Amino acid sequence: MLATKAVMEQGIHVEGINFFTGFCVEGHTHAIRKRDSDKPKRNNSLWVAEQLGIKLHIIDIIEEYKQVLLNPKHGYGANMNPCLDCKIFMVNKAKQWMLENGFDFIITGEVIGQRPMSQRKQTMPIVAAESGADDLLVRPLCAKNLPATLPEREGWIDRNQLFDITGRSRKPQFALAKQFGFTDFAQPAGGCCFLTDESYSLKLVDLWKARGKRDYELDDVMLLKVGRHIRPKPHFKMIIAREDGESQFMSGYKKEYISMNCHSHRGPLVLIDGTADDDDLHLAAQILARYGQGREAEQVEVTLRDQQGNERNIVVKPLLENEIPKEWFV
C-alpha cells in the first residue's frame, strides 16, 4: 500500500497484482467460522486497491504453486512456508504479466530485514535475479539501501523520493502512512498465509505422510483450514466441525467424503478422510459422540452417510475423554 502510494505520488500509473495460492488466510476462514463473523469481511487487497484508486488483478496460481511448495529450492521457513521460492515465483509471474500488459517495471512493498527468510539484504538480489526481473524490480520503501535499478537510473522514477526503511520495526511505515493520510492502514504482519502457521503446517505434513505422497488438491487445502483433525489410525482421519459455520461449510463435501453426525443428540458434522472399514467407522462414531451433547449418555445413535448419500444408523457408546489419546490429535 505504501510502496504503491510512494510511486503514484510521482505521477506513475500503477496497477496491482494479487496472487492466490490457496493458502491465503483472508477470505476463506472468516467466511467459514461464525466465531470470526464480527471481524471485517473485506478482502484486504481489494480494499487497498480501492483506497489507492488503482485496478487490481487477482491471479489464481493454485496449480502452479504446487511445485513451489512441494520442491522449494531454497527450503522452508519456520514452518512449511517456502517464502524465498514463493517470492521468486510471484515476481517472475509479475514480470510475465508486466510484459504481456505493456507495463515498464515492478514494485513490491518489501523492506530489508523485515522478514527472517525472504527479506534479508542477502536474499533481495536472489529474488531479483532468479525471478528474471533483475533491475526492473523496484522496492520503493528500501530502495535507497539497494543499488539503483534501471527505472531509477533512467529517471523513470526519482530515487530521491524513495525511502531507506530497514528492520522489523513498523514505526517508519506507520509514520509514512500518516504522512500519506491513511487512517486505516492494512499491512500484513506475516498473518496472511496459512503456511506460516505451525498447526496448519503439521496438518499438511500429516496429510502427506498418511497418503504416502507429497501432493494436494484445493479441497485438501480448504479442509485443513477447518475443524478439529483427529487421526485414530494411520489410514483414516476425522475432520470434526467445531461450530455451525464449519458444519455448514463441510456439508458441501458430503459427496466427496463419508460423513457422519449424531442422530440422537445434537452434535457436529464429521468427514472421514482416507479409507475406513466398519470397525474404523464404529470407532469414529464413538469419538464423534464425545463432541456432541450425548457425550455423557450410555449410548448414542450415529448416522453414517456414504458419498452417494446412502445412510445407515449405528448405536455406539461415546468414548471418555481419556480414551482419546493426545497423539491422535493432528
| Residues within the interface to another protein (CB under 8 A) | 18, 20, 24, 26-28, 30-32, 41-43, 45-47, 49-50, 54-60, 222, 248, 252
Nearest CA-CA partner of 249 in 23, 37, 19: 37
Q: For residues 111 and 165, is the Cβ–Cβ distance under 8 A?
A: yes
CA–CA distance, 83 with 289 (Å, rounded to integer) = 41
- Interaction partner, residue 118 (another protein, ligand SF4, none; CB < 5-8 Å by kind): ligand SF4
Candidates 30, 33, 87, 229; binder of ligand SF4 (CB under 6 A) is 87
User: How many residues are given for the chain?
Assistant: 330
Distances 28 to 37, 83, 173, 187, 202 between C-alpha atoms, Å: 12, 21, 28, 19, 19
Interface mask toward ligand SF4 for 177-206; x: CB under 6 A = ----------------x-xx----------
Smallest distance, ligand SF4 to C-beta of residue 115, A: 8
Beta carbon nearer to ligand SF4, 141 or 316: 141
Beta carbon nearer to ligand SF4, 112 or 316: 112
Q: Where are the beta strands (DSSP E) in the chain?
A: 16-20, 56-60, 106-107, 137-138, 228-233, 236-240, 258-262, 270-274, 300-305, 311-316
Is residue 82 involved in binding ligand SF4 (CB under 6 A)? yes
- Interaction partner, residue 205 (another protein, ligand SF4, none; CB < 5-8 Å by kind): none
Instruction: Return residues touching ligand SF4 (CB under 6 A).
Output: 21, 81-83, 86-87, 118, 193, 195-196
